[in-house]
A and B are shown apart, each in its own frame.
Chain A
C-alpha cells in the first residue's frame, strides 16, 4: 500500500495483516516504483493525493510497465472525475476515507482474485508463446493460414508450393504445439496472441 501518511500506513498495514494479507507499505509512488517487481499477485492500495507522483500517475505508469497490479484507490475526498478516471483505467474500487474495513477487505479480496486470474492467463499465454516460438518462420506462416481456416491446397496456392509440403509443415506445427486438432491449435494461437494471416491474394476460402 502507498500512502504518504505514516499513521494511515501503520493502521492499514495492521488491518491487512489481521485479515491475513502480507502487507508492504510505501510512503510514495516513487518508493514503490523503486522496488523490484514481484511476480506474484499484487493488490495495490493507493492514496490519490500524494507528494510527487500521485495515485493516478502511478496507475498510468504501472499500466505502461505492463504490470498486473490490481489497484484499490483510497482518498481523503473523492471527486467524481478522479473516481471515473481511476475506474476507467481499470481500478477495482475507489474508497473514500474513512471507509468501512469490510468494504476495503472485500475490495482487496476481489483485487487478489483478479490478480490471480490475470497471472494465470499470463502464464498460459507465456506457455503458448513458448511453444509457438519453436516454429520456423515457414511453419508460423502456415499456422496463420491454418487458423484462418484454409485448406492445405489453398495454403499451397497462397505460398506457391506443393500441397504435400504444406501437409508436412502442418504436421510439424501440430507436433511442436502439442495439439491434436485444429480447434486446439486455434485456442493455443489465441492465447499466444497470434492473429490469422491476411488474405493477400483474395483466395477464395471455399
Chain B
C-alpha cells in the first residue's frame, strides 16, 4: 500500500535520482542552487506583485511569490522541501519589511503562503505518480483543482484570520479572503505551469528544435504582443467587450502548436499586459473601481487560462499517444519481419483490406491490390488449393479459427511453405464483419527438415553399405556357388562334345542348369545392389516372414562360416506391415550380425540363433532374435542403443542406434533384454490397417 510519506518522498526522488550517491549530490549542489533561485525568485516575485497592485487597492492582482514557492516544491523531492521553505523565508522578510507591515503580520503571511504551497504541492505529488508535467489532461486537472484552487481556497481562510487577528487593514474577513483567493488562483494558473514547463526539462530541447519552429514561435510572440497591445492599450475603455476575445485564436495557436510550454508562456504574456495596462489606466479593465477592475481581470484571465491549459494537455497527450502508437507499430512490424510473420485483414463491411508489406512481397500482391479469398487462393499451390479453401470455408461456417499449412507457387516457380491462422469476426447482428489472420513463412524450416531427413536416410544407407562390407566374404561365397556350377557344366559340356557322343537330353538339362545358375547369380547381385542403392523410402505391404527368409538367404554363407545354427519359428498367416522392405532387411541383418558377434566366445556346439515372428494382441507384429552369447551390459540394457556405444574392438557403435531409428520411423518399438545364456532383441511393428488393406486390394 502506498503511504503518503513514501509517495511524497520516493516519487520526488525517483524523478531525478535512483541511487543514494546521486541523492547525496542532489543535496550538495543542486539544493544550494535551487535554494538560491527560490530566494531570488521569491524576492523578485514579491517585487513584481507589489508592482502589479492596482492603486489605491492594497492587494496585488497577481501575487507571484506563492506560485514560485509552489513551483519549486513541485520540482524538488519532498525531503528537500524544508530547504526551499527556509530559503523563501529571508526573501519574504526582505520584501515585506520594505512595505511598513508589522513583523507579526509578515510572519503570519509567510505561514499562510507556505500552507498554500504545501497543500497544493502535497496533493499534486500524492496523486501524480511521476514527475509533474502539464502534458496530460489528468495531471492538469489535478493541478488546477488541488494546487490552483484548493490550496488558495483553504489557505485564504488562514490568511484572512491572521489579518483579522493582527487588525491589519480595514477590509472585512470575507473581503480579504476573496481578494487573496482570486489573486492566488490567478498566480498559480499563470506562473506555476510556466515555471514547471520551462525549468523542469532544462534547455537541452531548445537545440533540437528546427529553425522553422523558432520562426513560428517568434511570429506567434509578435502577433500575440501586437494583438494584446491593441486590445489593452489602443482600444479605449469604451470598446466592445467582445474584442477581449481577440487574443483567443493566438492563445489556441500557442497551445496547439507549442503545447503546454507555448500555452503557459502565452497566458503569461496576456496576464502581464492585461494587468499592466489596467494598472496604468488603459484598456477595458480600467473603467471601474480598482477592486472591481482587479476582480474582472482575474476572472477574465482565470477563465482564459483553465481551458487553454487543458487544451494544451490534450494536444500533447494525443501527440505522445500517436508517437507511442507509432513506436509500438514499429516494434510489432520489426518482430513480424524477424519472425517472418505476415499480418492481414479483410473488412467486408468497409470493403477494406490490409496486409503487411512483407506479406505482400511473399504473396506477390501489388501494394494497393485489394485482398480477397479468391486472390489468395490463386497464389496457393494448385495441389493444396482445395484443402485450403475447404479449411477457410469450414472456419466461416462454424465460426472457428482455421490453421492451414500450404505451399505458395510463385510466378518464378519458387515454392514457399506457409502456415496461416485466421478467424472470421462477426458484428453485433451476427453477420461477418472481418476476416483477420497471420501467416508465417516456414520455408527455411521445412527445407531444413527435408535436409535432415535426407541426411538420416543417407546415414541409414551408409550403415547398410558398411554391413554389406562386413558380408563381402560371405557374399563372394554365395556368388561363387552358381558360378562354380556354371563353370563345371560348361567344362562338362565341352568334354562331352570333344568325346563326340553328346546325349541331347543331357545337354538340354545341362544348359537349363547353366541358365538357372546364371539367373541365380544375377539375383544375388541384384539383391546386393537393391540393398545398398539410395532408397526412395518407398513403403509397401511387407510380410515379415519373407524378410526373415531373405536375410537368412543373404547371410547363409556367413552363418555356415561361423558354424552357427539358425532356427526359425515363423508364425503362419502373419499380417503384413507397412514398411520399407530394404530397411527392414537392414534391421534384421544388423540384429543377426550383432547376435553372431555376441557368440564369438560361445562354444561351437551351443552357437545358436532363434528368430521368431509372432502376432501381438495390440494389432502389431513382433520379430525376436535370440542368441546364446555374451548378453547385454547388466546395468543398463538400453545402453546398447545409444550412439557410439560398442563392445567390439573396432565397432563404431552405430548399428543398433540406426536399427532403433528405423524401427521407430516405422512406428514400432525396439527392445533388448537378457535371457538365459544370452540376449534377446525384439521389435514390434504396427499391422497394416484394414482400410488401407482394402484400398490396396
B304 on the interface (CB 8 Å rule)? Answer: no
| Min distance, Cβ B272 to any Cβ of chain A, angstroms | 117
Is A144 interfacial (CB-CB < 8 Å)? no
Q: Which of A7, A10, A18, A77 contacts B477 (CB 8 A)?
A: A77
Report if B483 contacts A (CB, 8 A).
yes
| Interfacial chain A residues near B493, Cβ < 8 Å | 18
A11 and B488: CB pair below 8 A?
Answer: yes
Q: Are A97 and B483 in contact (CB under 8 A)?
A: yes
Please determine whether B481 and A8 come into contact, CB atoms closer than 8 angstroms.
yes
Contact A99 B473 (CB under 8 A): no
A97 to B480, CA, bound (A): 6
Q: Is A51 an interface residue (CB 8 A)?
A: yes
CB distance from B521 to the nearest CB of A (A): 10
Contacts of B483 in A (CB 8 A): 97-98
Of listed B484, B520, B561, B565, residue having the most chain A CB within 10 A: B484
Our pick among A49, A51, A77, A101 for the contact of B487 (Cβ within 8 Å) is A101
Contact A11 B489 (CB under 8 A): yes
User: Looking at chain B, what size class is its interface with the partner chain?
Assistant: 20 to 34
A76 within 8 A of B: yes
A116 and B135 CA atoms in complex are apart in Å by 127
Partner of A19, one of B484, B495, B513: B495
Answer yes or no: B486 CB below 8 A from chain A CBs: yes
B107 at the interface (CB under 8 A from A): no
Shortest CB-to-CB span from A186 to chain B, Å, is: 47
Which residues of B have CB within 8 Å of A10? 485, 489, 513
| Option from B486, B499, B560, B563 in Cβ contact (under 8 Å) with A11 | B486
Distance, CA A99 to CA B491, complexed state (A): 11
Q: Mark A1-40, 1 if CB is under 8 A from B, else 0.
A: 0001101101110110111000000000000000000000
Q: Give the distance to chain A from B501, nearest Cβ to Cβ, in Å.
A: 10
A11 to B480, CA, bound (A): 13
Question: A118 at the A/B interface (Cβ < 8 Å)?
Answer: no
Interface size class of A (residues with CB under 8 A): 20 to 34
Choose from A8, A11, A51, A97 the contact partner of B492 (Cβ within 8 Å). Answer: A11
In the assembly, what is the distance between CA of A8 and CA of B486, in Å? 8
Q: By the criterion CB–CB under 8 Å, are A98 and B487 in contact?
A: yes
Residue in A7, A14, A98 whose beta carbon sits within 8 Å of that of B520 in the complex: A7
Chain B residues, CB < 8 A from A98: 480, 483-484, 486-488
Please give, as numbers and ranges, the residues of chain A lying within 8 Å of B487 by CB-CB distance.
11, 98-99, 101
**Closest CB in chain B relative to A6 CB, distance in Å:** 9
Closest to A51 in B: B560
For B517, what are the chain A residues with a Cβ–Cβ distance below 8 Å?
Answer: 7, 11
CA distance A19 to B476 in the complex (A): 28
From A4, A10, A11, A74, residue with most partner B Cβ within 10 Å: A11
Q: Is there a chain B Cβ closer than 8 Å to A50's Cβ? A: yes
Most buried by B among A17, A54, A97: A97
A176 to B338, CA, bound (A): 117
Contacts of A76 in B (CB 8 A): 476-478, 480-481, 557
Q: Which residues of B contact A17 (CB under 8 A)?
A: 492
How far, in angstroms, from A97 to B476 measured CA to CA in the complex?
10
Count of inter-chain pairs, beta carbons less than 8 A: 86
- Inter-subunit contact B488/A5 (CB<8 Å): no
CA distance A99 to B485 in the complex (A): 10
Does chain A have a CB within 8 A of B516?
A: yes
- Closest CB in chain B relative to A14 CB, distance in Å: 4
- Contact indicator A54/B563 (Cβ below 8 Å): yes
Q: B495 and A18: CB pair below 8 A?
A: yes
B323 within 8 A of A: no
Minimum CB–CB distance from A145 to chain B (whole Å) comes to: 50
A18's partner among B478, B484, B499, B565 (CB-CB below 8 A) is B499
Within 8 A of A (CB), among B104-160: none
CA distance A97 to B687 in the complex (A): 44
Q: Is B510 part of the contact surface with A, judged by Cβ < 8 Å? A: yes
Determine if B452 is an interface residue (Cβ-Cβ < 8 Å): no
Q: B101 within 8 Å of A by Cβ?
A: no
Cα distance A18–B496 when bound, in Å? Answer: 6
B482 at the interface (CB under 8 A from A): yes
- CB neighbours of B473 from chain A (8 A): 77
Inter-chain contact B495/A7, CB cutoff 8 Å: no
Contacts A7-B516, A7-B517, A49-B560; A74 near B484 (Cβ below 8 A): yes
A sample of 27 inter-chain contacts (CB < 8 A) reads A4-B560, A5-B485, A7-B484, A7-B485, A7-B516, A7-B520, A8-B484, A10-B485, A11-B485, A11-B517, A12-B488, A14-B489, A14-B492, A14-B506, A17-B492, A18-B496, A19-B495, A49-B477, A49-B557, A76-B476, A76-B478, A76-B557, A97-B480, A97-B483, A98-B483, A98-B484, A101-B488
Q: 17 extra interchain contacts, Cβ-Cβ under 8 A, other than A14-B510, A49-B477?
A: A7-B513, A8-B481, A11-B489, A12-B488, A14-B488, A14-B489, A14-B492, A18-B492, A18-B499, A51-B560, A54-B563, A77-B480, A98-B486, A98-B487, A99-B487, A101-B488, A101-B495
Smallest CB-CB A-B distances: 4 pairs = A76-B477, A101-B491, A11-B488, A7-B485
